[in-house]
Structure 1
């Protein structure tokens, strides 16, 4: 069991970064130690976290909906016995939470300029406050600019096309995997932006009022947890909790870019 020594890396690239250029990139990753032992979509790692959180051994069709700050991706998974099987993925890097925040800030900046004739786009401090308020949907207070405003859910209306594009990803990936929406047993939400109420309502409506699962795994840790589990398997750590787990990815190319995760199974509660 590897509990000491140098970190053992496993790369978990955001699924939308997969590319035809992945072969040269893979050679680059492995040019210097430590070498990457496996590359897989982050949605697969989330599926591993979901599997280990299950209270029963019942087989399920699960849609992983990962909506983070910089990207979104969707994958249909089959979770059964000790197997996590990923059939397809879809997503994009222009449909994440950062894009939503940027639009809200731009919309407020434009509106303030029209009403007060003041330009705040070049005011770094003001933009930081606007961005923080947009992330938490709270009150914006800029006394030096005489600006006081409260953000509401209607403030996200300029982002309706981003929400629709995420729903389109869902439709595309189900079609690619030859899975009907009625056969999806559960929608598993990952990433901070998946907490947006409108996103949850959109998914619930599309899947005929199924309530998305947000409680079984920490939204912000699911991918890293799954990567750590995969590492224990790849590096021969004989942990009862995961020793029989099998992970299958169907037809994924190698990723264009990745980030390495140092695996410390004790930290993630695996030992």
Structure 2
């Protein structure tokens, strides 16, 4: 077996290892960068012009295309062309349903709490699979440029991304054939790009104002002796340049420059208008008027429309500053990140709030990817004097329904670490919960290494889904892992202690890691099938309860149809076809939704009988 140039017992990279690239996986555009002759550079397209790869995926009859060629399909094939995937990462349907009307592709709303799925024809995709396509395109771009294979990467995420979103980003990297050595915060990457944090004697407090296509966040960092600490962060996962475009579209509809009905019903027309609004926003960064294709808007009108959105970002800056316990005069730099910060009103508003000129000397589209490349160079051991903290050599997690591995502390996470995640029961009246702890990189626990298990007993009997069970992983600097389970409503708890390094040699760790990449696609397919089955079983149970509880409200035809559709879903759930399960689930949900609404109206009407409002 070939020796991997990772020191898996410490998480550090051996000298003379291959290039570790930096990737900014963005909502609107993505980039890949690397260190060339000691300087971070973003990789351009084959024509040597653009560094940006539009985060757009198109599913053609024979191939999946990404970037500029896919972007051209937004108008001609809108229902098969996916964009703004980052907004969907680690999200459930209820998190994104308000945004759905502005998408041209289909989001599935089978379960308000289940992670969102995107439907293209008869196939269903997760945001992880879609993001992996973008990462594959970036990997191919840099491999073509350097004429060598690239395996290792640092990928950036917004500072506010939660564990689920970070793990989804890691999974997307793995599926693209990348060993994701670090998930780092975008503001940290931006700081590194400006050289802040490279000097060990430096002590600075900085603001990173990051307004991209779909997300906004402001972070206040303290950098001391090369260590980055996020003092505070604030923002909005649903505020960005896309929302500026939406303001322009809404204005054009109100002003009757855009046909409201046609915009709602014709996907190609909707995309054409959306792209015109995006163009208008860009033109108005350096002009007083946009006019094209019978559509027009002035800079003053644009500023008037977006001012409430900019005010929201300034309010977030105010909260972040207050939370950091700093005064404006203590801030040494205000760094601007994201293409949307090119809007003049944003620059002037942020400058005015912080009482200093903003720093946007480095291309705001490229700054995060460049910083990620610098972080990769640090991990490669090429930046002397930079502190590289100890990290977990392999992921740690627990077994969930169907034998799936749910990662709680991912590989390469800094040590010490304390991470908690909430779970619930899957059976009515469940009194005991077995917590099985595993180490490894595969999606099925059967392919990972079991470290131990314990029983959380004495859970008060409640309906499935009601108990609130928190699982905490506490990993100290010596590698001792304590796993604690608590039922938060009753206060009962149990824990287990697992000793350092868990008896694995470096070679065994290396083999586990290599296996995870070799089987990444197969593992994701297994996980998707099991998750579809688990979700289907919940829907089947709910459907049977609904039929039983509403016999008097349903007609014979409705009852017969529901029973038949439920049986169809039961049959599909036994198959190996994830898309067939999702399709039958969608069919049943679409049919039962109006019936459930009718039953709810009836229940409310019954409850209010004889009462005055």
Same fold (TM over 0.5): yes
Question: What TM-score, normalized by structure 2, do the two folds share?
Answer: 0.35
- What pairs with 1:98-247 in structure 2 (closer than 5 Å)? 98-112=242-256, 121=263, 122=266, 123=269, 124-137=271-284, 138-142=289-293, 147=294, 149-207=296-354, 209-215=355-361, 217-236=362-381, 238=382, 242-246=383-387
Q: Tell me, what secondary structure is at the counterpart of 2:213?
A: coil
Q: Which has the larger radius of gyration?
A: 2
Q: Distance in 1 between matches of 2:185 and 2:419?
A: 10
Contact 2:211–2:337 under 8 Å retained in 1: yes
- Rounded to whole Å, the distance in 2 between the matches of 1:252 and 1:132 is 45
| Distance change in 2, residues 1:118/1:88 (3 Å) | closer
After TM superposition, the score normalised by the length of structure 1 is 0.73
Q: Report SS of the residue matched to 1:88.
A: strand
Find the residue that maps to 1:89 and give its secondary structure.
strand
Q: CA deviation at 1:158?
A: 2.3
Considering Cα pairs closer than 8 Å and 6+ residues apart, tell me whether 1 or 2 has the greater RCO: 1
Determine the C-alpha separation between the residues in 2 that align with 1:130 and 1:27. 33
Q: Which runs of 5+ in 1 are unaligned?
A: 255-271
Give the whole-Å Cα distance in 2 for the aligned partners of 1:24 and 1:7.
18
Which whole-Å deviations, capped at 9, do the CAs of 1:243-268 have from their partners, x for residues lacking one? 2234899x9979xxxxxxxxxxxxxx
Contact 1:187/1:212 (8 A) holds in 2: yes
Query: Where does structure 2 lack aligned partners over 5 or more consecutive residues?
Result: 1-15, 20-147, 390-413, 421-613
Kindly indicate whether residue 210 of structure 2 is the aligned counterpart of residue 66 of structure 1.
yes
CA deviations over 1:89-133 (Å, ceiling 9, x no partner): 22222221111111112211220259xx88663435455334322
Structure having the higher strand fraction is 2
User: Is the CA contact 1:68–1:193 (under 8 Å) kept in the aligned structure 2?
Assistant: yes
Give the match for residue 45 of structure 1: 189
1:117-170 per-residue CA deviation (whole Å, 9 max, x = no partner) reads: 88663435455334322332242222xxxx363421332322222111111221
Structure 2 CA distance for partners of 1:53 and 1:194, relative to 1, 3 Å = farther
- Residue by residue over 1:202-246, the C-alpha shift from the partner in whole angstroms, topping out at 9 and shown as x without a partner, is 122212x3111112x22111110111111112233x2xxx32234
Compared with structure 1, are the counterparts of its residues 228 and 205 closer, same or farther at alpha carbon in structure 2 (3 Å cutoff)? same
State the Cα distance separating 1:9 from its structure 2 match. Answer: 1.7
